[in-house]
């Protein structure tokens, strides 16, 4: 390679234009207790495990669109595996990843040790138990009425909710005993997410007011929207309010903008669930309220992304030299794009074209993946090496980043175009099967993008393994 390039310098790759640039190393190691490191790392490790499991299912589901006869086993059929994919990446991967980071950020910004490490472990096992049990039941064909993201029947989801309560108590106690006067904005978002999600799970599963098909739909709209908007969104935003300024080594641009975004998030986001059922037989006024507040979401989204981007301003060099900050920058950009896209989808005129189509699938992946997952990865790569003193290979972090980003763009663009074509085909009054036939090339592109995303997760799991703490190895050896 070196010899070849001296003979004939390549316009693309040469010693002056290398394929990769060395990034800044993690620098100083954080003095954290062994308990803290082990707990946080264990959450991250399980998160990576569930990411691989959940997206293996997703990847396989994507193939079924172009190859419906790939298997004929009931446990692997589309209708059973689809909720496995969504629930495993929600409650396994993303939730555990976010809680891992929160278990570090909350004590750190409160200048206290975590209230109880034991409760931290209890919560981890409750949540893992929930995902294992829920997944097996789903594959056996036992689900909670096919209600999206609440497919786990209550005994399985109950374990998760219990884990949430244990963690919420643990974090609340840590904040209550803080050694600083002010509660840092990250902790507003993080603990609020726990409290909101506990309320949400209770409302979603209690009987009595959602027993016919219409009341069920009213609660479903509320639930499926808040599941994303009051759990994943505030959690990753709260974490970013810590990691972004920390990794850039400068304060957040505006504290009060963060506070404004917080209260408007709570007020507006809660009201918009019914926009998932525009034109449905649920009360028309409920749909209109949802559409109006969907426009209101422009406030917290613009305040939030503006705040992050203005914090980044002037530090682009630092971001380019870091291997964790590019994930955070990507996540912030997707947060804005996908939220504006969501507002557009709520308008009745556009909803007509996009509702029920694959456009929705693109939207949910751009948000849960481009926004939530990238921010989690940014936090993991920003924190874990400093905690364990072990850095992941920079090359493989780069491969993770680019495979995930390019894969997501292929996936998202293909389904956005395909979804729009589906909607237009229905409006044109073509035979229904036309809307299936026209999707085939887009489903192929989705499978290609999905494969790249899945490969990036294997690399992420490898990187997590490379970042494992030494002490973990010692304890293992000791246990044997």
Partner 1 sequence: MKLDFHQNHKLLYGTIFTGFVILSLIIAVFPAMWVQERNEPLPDSRALTELEQKGLNVYVSEGCMYCHTQQVRPIDMDAVWGRPSAPGDYARIGRQDVWRQTPAVLGSARTGPDLSNVGNRQPSEVWHYMHLFNPRSVVGESVMPSYPWLFEVKDDAGPDDTVITIPGDYAPKQGTVVATEKAEALVAYLLSLKQVKLESGETADAR
Site for partner 1 in 91-120 (CB under 8 A): none
Under rule CB under 8 A, residue 478 binds partner 1: no
Site for partner 1 in 336-375 (CB under 8 A): 352, 356-358, 360-361
Site for partner 1 in 144-163 (CB under 8 A): 144-148, 150, 153-155
Under rule CB under 8 A, residue 251 binds partner 1: no
Stretch near partner 1 under the rule CB under 8 A, chosen from 96-104, 269-277, 323-331, 407-415: 269-277
Give the Cα separation of 413 and 429 in Å (integer).
25
- Residue 409 burial (CB count, 10 A): 14
Q: Which of 141, 314, 393, 441 binds partner 1 (CB under 8 A)?
A: 141
Give the Cα separation of 423 and 338 in Å (integer).
20
433-445 in b/e form (b: 16+ CB < 10 A) is eebeeebeebbeb
Give the Cα separation of 312 and 258 in Å (integer).
15
Q: Which of 43, 205, 454, 460 binds partner 1 (CB under 8 A)?
A: 205
**Residue pair 160/127 in contact by the 8 Å Cβ criterion:** yes
Give the Cα separation of 322 and 385 in Å (integer).
13
Give the Cα separation of 452 and 400 in Å (integer).
9
Under rule CB under 8 A, residue 179 binds partner 1: no
Under rule CB under 8 A, residue 46 binds partner 1: no
**Residue pair 446/415 in contact by the 8 Å Cβ criterion:** yes
Structure tokens at 396: 């493989």
**Residue pair 307/254 in contact by the 8 Å Cβ criterion:** yes
Q: Which of 49, 121, 169, 172 binds partner 1 (CB under 8 A)?
A: 172
Under rule CB under 8 A, residue 441 binds partner 1: no
Under rule CB under 8 A, residue 444 binds partner 1: no
Q: What angle do CA 456, 462, 464 make, to 5 degrees?
A: 105
Under rule CB under 8 A, residue 317 binds partner 1: no
- Which C-beta is closer to partner 1: that of 195 or that of 319? 195
Stretch near partner 1 under the rule CB under 8 A, chosen from 19-27, 37-45, 99-107, 425-433: 425-433
Under rule CB under 8 A, residue 284 binds partner 1: yes
Site for partner 1 in 16-45 (CB under 8 A): none
- Which C-beta is closer to partner 1: that of 211 or that of 476? 211
Q: Which of 9, 437, 465, 473 binds partner 1 (CB under 8 A)?
A: 437
Contacts 24+ apart (CB under 8 A), 61-70: 61/85, 62/443, 62/446, 62/447, 62/450, 63/447, 65/439, 65/443, 65/446, 65/447, 66/440, 66/443, 66/444, 66/447
- Which C-beta is closer to partner 1: that of 155 or that of 393? 155
CA dihedral of 388, 392, 397, 400, whole degrees rounded to 10: -80
Under rule CB under 8 A, residue 314 binds partner 1: no
Give the SS3 label for residue 15. Answer: coil
Q: Which of 127, 218, 375, 464 binds partner 1 (CB under 8 A)?
A: 218
Under rule CB under 8 A, residue 82 binds partner 1: yes
Give the Cα separation of 49 and 215 in Å (integer).
37
- Which C-beta is closer to partner 1: that of 206 or that of 320? 206
Give the SS3 label for residue 14. Answer: coil
Please, what is the end-to-end C-alpha distance for the chain in angstroms? Answer: 46
- Which C-beta is closer to partner 1: that of 143 or that of 233? 143
Under rule CB under 8 A, residue 219 binds partner 1: yes
Q: Which of 4, 13, 214, 310 binds partner 1 (CB under 8 A)?
A: 214
Give the SS3 label for residue 51. Answer: helix
- Which C-beta is closer to partner 1: that of 212 or that of 476? 212
How many residues contact partner 1, by CB under 8 A?
88
Stretch near partner 1 under the rule CB under 8 A, chosen from 12-20, 35-43, 142-150, 381-389: 142-150
Under rule CB under 8 A, residue 217 binds partner 1: yes
Give the Cα separation of 447 and 264 in Å (integer).
37
Under rule CB under 8 A, residue 170 binds partner 1: no
Q: Of 74, 62, 36, nearest to 444 (Cα)?
A: 62
Structure tokens at 216: 């069920």
**Residue pair 279/356 in contact by the 8 Å Cβ criterion:** no
Under rule CB under 8 A, residue 256 binds partner 1: no
In the complex, what is the shortest distance from the CB of residue 144 to partner 1, in angstroms, rounded to a whole number? 5
């Amino acid at each position: 390679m070196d010899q070849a390039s001296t003979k004939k310098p390549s316009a693309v790759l040469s010693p002056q234009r290398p394929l990769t640039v060395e990034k800044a190393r993690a620098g100083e190691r954080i003095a954290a207790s062994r308990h803290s490191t082990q707990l946080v790392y264990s959450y991250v490790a399980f998160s990576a495990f569930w990411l691989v499991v959940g997206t293996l299912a997703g990847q396989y589901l994507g193939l079924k669109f172009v190859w419906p006869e790939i298997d004929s086993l009931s446990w692997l059929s589309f209708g059973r595996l689809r909720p496995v994919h969504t629930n495993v990446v929600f409650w396994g991967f993303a939730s555990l990843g976010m809680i891992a980071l929160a278990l570090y950020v909350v004590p750190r910004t409160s200048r206290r040790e975590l209230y109880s490490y034991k409760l931290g472990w209890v919560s981890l096992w409750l949540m893992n138990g929930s995902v294992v049990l829920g997944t097996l039941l789903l594959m056996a064909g036992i689900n909670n009425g096919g209600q999206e993201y609440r497919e786990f029947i209550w005994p399985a989801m109950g374990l998760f909710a219990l884990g949430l309560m244990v963690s919420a108590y643990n974090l609340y106690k840590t904040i209550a005993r803080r050694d600083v006067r002010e509660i840092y904005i990250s902790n507003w978002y993080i603990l609020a997410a726990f409290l909101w999600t506990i309320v949400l799970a209770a409302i979603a599963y209690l009987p009595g007011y959602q027993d016919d098909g219409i009341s069920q739909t009213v609660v479903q709209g509320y639930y499926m929207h808040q599941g994303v908007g009051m759990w994943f969104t505030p959690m990753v935003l709260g974490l970013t309010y810590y990691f972004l300024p920390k990794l850039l080594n400068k304060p957040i641009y505006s504290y009060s903008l963060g506070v404004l975004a917080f209260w408007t998030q709570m007020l507006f986001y809660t009201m918009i669930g019914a926009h998932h059922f525009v034109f449905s037989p649920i009360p028309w006024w409920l749909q209109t309220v949802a559409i109006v507040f969907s426009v209101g979401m422009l406030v917290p989204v613009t305040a939030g992304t503006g705040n992050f981007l203005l914090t980044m301003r002037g530090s682009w060099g630092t971001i380019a030299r870091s291997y964790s900050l590019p994930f955070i920058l990507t996540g912030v950009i997707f947060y804005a794009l996908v939220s504006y896209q969501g507002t557009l989808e709520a308008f009745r005129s556009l909803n007509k074209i996009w509702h029920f189509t694959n456009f929705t699938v693109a939207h949910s992946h751009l948000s849960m993946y481009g926004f939530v997952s990238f921010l989690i990865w940014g936090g993991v790569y920003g924190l874990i090496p400093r905690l364990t003193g072990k850095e992941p290979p920079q090359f493989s972090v780069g491969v993770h980043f680019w495979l995930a980003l390019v894969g997501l763009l292929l996936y998202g663009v293909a389904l956005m175009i395909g979804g729009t074509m589906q909607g237009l085909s229905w409006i044109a009054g073509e035979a229904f099967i036309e809307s299936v036939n026209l999707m085939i090339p887009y489903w192929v592109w989705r499978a290609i993008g999905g494969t790249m995303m899945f490969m990036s997760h294997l690399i992420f799991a490898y990187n997590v393994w490379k970042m494992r703490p030494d002490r973990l190895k010692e304890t293992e050896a000791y246990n044997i």
